[in-house]
Amino acid sequence: MADAEYVNIWMRPERPAYGPKPAYSRAQITEAAIRIADAEGLEAATMRRIAAAIGAGAMSLYRYVPSRDNLVELMADRLMGEIDVTGMPSGDWRADLTRYADGLRAMWLRHPWIAAVQRSLPSFGPNQLLLIERLMGVLDAFVSIDENLGLVAMLSSYTEGTVREEISSAREFRRSGLSESEWMARSHQHVDQLVKSGEYPIFTKIVMEARQPHLSRDDQFRHGLRRVLDCIAAALPSTAGSPMPAHRDGRQAQDGPSGKAPRATQHG
């Protein structure tokens, strides 16, 4: 297969069919790249820096990882392996999805540079595939595959969106040189003026009545996660212990055993 035909790194054999045994592995290169990115950010993880970290020549690494995109694919898939999905599905879908969301958020917080990775096309690396099998297996018995995709996407989008904002806020506070409480204290006078002006009733209601902004980041995340799981529950059969029958065709998978689409899964 010609180089141009390799859509992603997983299609390219790690070891060439001919020639000497490789001195390094993709795993070594990936681990070195992640250590550098954790310490200094994704842009610092160049081939030159990685080569120096493992004692190789910079150009020689291109034999193992031909492009920057390939390197990012390897790094991202390696991080997906940190999300513990052992034992899923356990039979308790809510506990499983909570565990996944917690694990995804924790992984992002350990490696905040992942927020800078913009990749829309799946690469189907081994850890991503394992995650797909275990995570989507949680709801597979209850909804059609299309509904499953939508529900898991909703959960992942909430988790990633929330932690992305968390990482961005932390970066802004570091840049300002202020802690969150110090920043809030310095903003108090301006906020007070806005409230007293009477021109912003909804903003005033948020300032005067809302409890959520005063919760810890963990509690804010849990609050939103419960709402997302409630939405998922509304899309499931009335009893999670009564999975849908085997999907003989797309219609039964979507409509359920009665032939009538549950209210939460109708499209309109």
What contacts 144, CB < 8 A, 6 or more positions away?
244, 247, 250, 253, 254
Residue 49 has pLDDT above 60, yes or no: yes
How far is residue 139's CA from residue 151's CA, in Å, rounded to a whole number? 9
- State the pTM of this model: 0.80
Quick: pLDDT tens for 63-117: 888 888 899 999 999 999 999 999 999 999 999 999 999 999 999 999 999 998 8
Q: What integer is the mean pLDDT of 28-56?
A: 94
Give the other-Cβ count within 10 Å of 225's Cβ. Answer: 19
What end-to-end distance do the CA atoms of the chain give, in Å? 46
Quick: pLDDT tens for 128-182: 999 999 999 999 999 999 999 999 999 999 999 999 999 998 888 888 888 878 8
Report pLDDT for 255. 41
With bands split at pLDDT 50, 70 and 90, how would you rate the model's confidence at 123?
A: confident
With bands split at pLDDT 50, 70 and 90, how would you rate the model's confidence at 211?
A: confident
Return the exposure string of 232-265: e unless at least 16 CB atoms fall within 10 Å of the residue's CB, then b: beebbbeeeeeebeeeeeeebbbbbeeeeebeeb
The closest of 82, 67, 66 to 127, measured between CA atoms, is 82
